[in-house]
Each structure stands twice: as structure tokens, then as C-alpha cells.
DNA sequence: CTTTTTGCAAACAATTTGCAAAAAA
DNA sequence: TTTTTTGCAAATTGTTTGCAAAAAG
């Protein structure tokens, strides 16, 4: 939170309540919401906020390096306040995303395998599965349709 | 290609030239184009094809299990004709995606780390880097803006 | 007081759907 | 000939932009 204020001042950007809320929302959540998800949550506390301000702020935070973006599409992007090295568990049914860390996975020997395509910046593991909530509501949205 | 015809017949679906082209395009490419990418390529050979037919066919192929979809968003999805176990190299600058295989990566011991979130179906490695083409046109779209 | 930021509304882009004409079985 | 599929155009949804009013520094 302090890091945020510092980065804003450093970049010559103004510290507005809206920006404050967007940052706090992303930093404080462990799912990785998309823009509409952030907007919906913030609106409860701050009904005047607009969706386009949320978009603008999220991309601004990304440019400042204060958050990262999951997936390489500008459309339907999810925003991630966790800047540490981590991997993702993704529920294939509902789309839930959760972080996990594992030191051993941070240095996999893959350089040689992808050298022909380009140079490596980082490696992310994406574990696909079914989350606990979806296991319980077992097939409600698949079997019955 | 034969597998395709068989699956179509099996599902009681009609074999149209448009569907043939969509399948051949996905199966024959090693990048993983989105719907518009498929559409653009096919249109060169078959100018009458429409974008919505491409969308419909892609999702149909996915439902039949003949192709898979990268990313969990229905929006801006990329389609993948490679059904074998494989991982992805993704260029963070231009979005290029290439496959690679590595047996050792197919059995990483992560079950315990994500058990609290849900059960595992499969694990995908996503390597982020800069592709060769982007290394060469070094910063043209970043430095100069 | 000066410059940036906000919220609105309109613009854009990507994807989906209704329907009559055309094609496959 | 019967049923499915296509292509068009319109509808929907998600994201971005222009601009005057409001807020930050």
C-alpha cells in the first residue's frame, strides 16, 4: 500500500480515491478478478466509480509494474496482485484461479527445449482441475443441460 | 483427416466443405490461431466462407474432442489441433505460441500443493519469453513509442 | 490555478443468434 | 425430399475513447 503511493508519486500521477480502491482490491484478493469483477466489488463501497476508470487504473497499475496480468489477451484479462514467483491452479469448470508456490518448479530445465523458438523470461505452471466448490455441486451445470 | 470424417459421421453431422477447411487449417498449423486467424486464412481459398461459420465449426470440433482450446476464456480463445500432451512457448511481445514436448514435465509432483483447491486433471507448462522474430525487430514497437 | 482524472455516452471490437435460402444425405 | 448448415444482418457483451465537469497537487 505504501509501495503504491510511492510509485504513484514517483511517476507523477495523482493519488485519487478510485485508484486507491482499485489497488487495494487487487492487492487484497487471492482470486484474480477481471475488470468487471473489480468494478463490482468496488462499487459496493464507492457507488460512483465507473467501469472505464477501473479499466484505466488496472492498465496503469500494470504499466507501473504493481500488478501483473494473467493470459496474453487484452480482452478478458485477469489481474494479479501477487508479484512473487508463483503458479496457478485453474478450475476448468468455473474458471476459479488460485496461487501456489513451489520452489522446485522455479528452475525447470526447459531452456534447451524452446531455444529454437526464442529466449525464456519465466516459466509458469498452470494446473488444470476441478475446484472443491465445483466437485460438490457435482455436474449441476453439465449433466442437467 | 480420416478421424475427422469418422467423427462427423459418428455424430450424425454433415460433412461440408467449410467444415473440412476449418479442420484442415487447425490440424495443419503449428501456431494456434484464434477464430479470426482461421477465418482469414480460409477465406483466401474459399472467399464465400463467413466468420460465424468458422466460430460454429471451431466450437463444434472442440465439442467432438478433435481440437482443444487454449486458455479458459470463450472470448479471444485460441484453437489447438495438437491433441498430444504438450506445453507452450508464448512470446510476451507478439503473442506467438509454439508447442514443445518434454516427457519429464508430464509427471510433476504438484498434487499435494494444490489439493486444498481441488483435484488435478492435467498440468501445462507455459514458458514466457521473446520469440526469435521479436528479438530481431528488437524493440521496434516498444523503444520507439 | 494548472494539469490530471473522472464519469458519461458514444464508439469499437469480438462473439453469438434468428432466419430464409442453399446444400448434404 | 427432409433435415442440417450456411451467410447475412442484427443483437449482445466486453473494452476503449472524446470530452466537459470535477478533483488533485
Q: What is the residue-level pLDDT of chain B in tens, covering all 145 positions? A: 899 999 999 999 999 999 999 999 999 999 999 999 999 999 999 999 999 999 999 999 999 999 999 877 778 899 999 999 999 999 988 888 999 999 888 888 899 999 999 999 999 999 999 999 998 876 554 433 2
CA atom of A45 to C1′ atom of D22, Å: 20
What pTM was estimated for this model as a whole?
0.86
Q: Does A128 sit within 8 Å of B123, measured CB to CB? A: yes
What is the pLDDT at residue A141?
45
**Apex A31 CA angle, A30 and A37, nearest 5:** 125
Sequence-distant (≥ 6) Cβ neighbours of residue B142 within 8 angstroms = B93
Question: pLDDT tens digit string along A52-86?
Answer: 999 999 999 999 999 999 877 778 899 999 999 99
What is the pLDDT at residue B1?
85
Query: How many other CB atoms are found less than 10 A from the CB of residue A9?
Result: 11
Q: What percent of chain A has pLDDT over 70?
A: 94
Sequence-distant (≥ 6) Cβ neighbours of residue B24 within 8 angstroms = B1
Asked if residue B42 lies in contact with residue B87, where contact means CB atoms within 8 angstroms, the answer is no
Q: Does B108 sit within 8 Å of A105, measured CB to CB? A: yes
Cα separation, B112 vs B144, in Å, equals 47
Strands B118-131 and B87-91: parallel
B87, β-bridge pairs: B100
The DSSP string of chain A is -HHHHHHHHHTT----HHHHHHHHHHHH-SS--BHHHHHHHHHHH-TT--HHHHHHHHHHHHHTTSSEEESS-STT-EEE---SS-EEEEETTT--EEEE--GGGGG-S-HHHHTTTEEEEEEEEEEEEEEHHHHHTTTTTTTT-
What is the pLDDT at residue A139?
54
What is the pLDDT at residue A106?
85
| Long-range contact set of residues A53-62: C-beta below 8 Å, sequence gap at least 24 | A53/A18, A53/A22, A54/A18, A54/A22, A57/A18, A57/A19, A57/A22, A57/A23, A58/A22, A58/A26, A60/A13, A60/A19, A61/A22, A61/A23, A61/A26
Nearest to A114 among B117, B120, B129 (CB): B129
- Write out the E strands in chain B: 68-70, 78-80, 87-91, 97-100, 118-131
Sequence-distant (≥ 6) Cβ neighbours of residue B44 within 8 angstroms = none
Question: pLDDT tens digit string along A110-132?
Answer: 999 999 999 999 999 999 999 99
What is the pLDDT at residue B138?
64
- The answer to whether residue B90 neighbours chain A at the CB level (below 8 Å) is yes
Query: How many other CB atoms are found less than 10 A from the CB of residue B76?
Result: 16
Mean residue pLDDT of chain A comes to 90
What is the pLDDT at residue B144?
33
Best probe of the A interface among B80, B104, B120, B125, by most A CBs < 10 A, is B125
Amino acid at each position: 500500500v505504501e509501495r503504491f503511493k510511492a510509485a504513484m508519486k514517483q511517476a507523477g500521477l495523482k493519488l485519487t480515491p478510485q485508484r486507491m480502491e482499485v489497488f487495494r482490491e487487487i492487492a487484497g484478493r487471492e482470486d484474480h478478478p477481471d475488470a468487471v469483477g473489480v468494478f463490482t466489488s468496488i462499487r459496493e463501497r464507492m457507488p460512483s466509480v465507473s467501469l472505464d476508470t477501473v479499466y484505466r487504473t488496472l492498465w496503469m497499475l500494470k504499466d507501473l509494474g504493481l500488478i501483473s496480468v494473467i493470459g496474453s489477451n487484452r480482452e478478458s484479462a485477469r489481474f494479479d496482485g501477487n508479484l512473487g514467483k508463483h503458479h496457478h491452479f485453474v478450475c476448468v469448470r468455473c474458471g476459479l484461479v488460485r496461487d501456489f508456490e513451489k520452489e522446485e518448479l522455479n528452475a525447470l530445465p526447459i531452456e534447451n527445449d524452446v531455444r529454437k523458438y526464442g529466449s525464456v523470461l519465466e516459466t509458469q505452471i498452470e494446473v488444470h482441475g476441478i475446484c472443491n466448490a465445483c466437485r460438490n455441486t457435482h455436474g449441476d451445470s453439465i449433466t442437467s443441460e
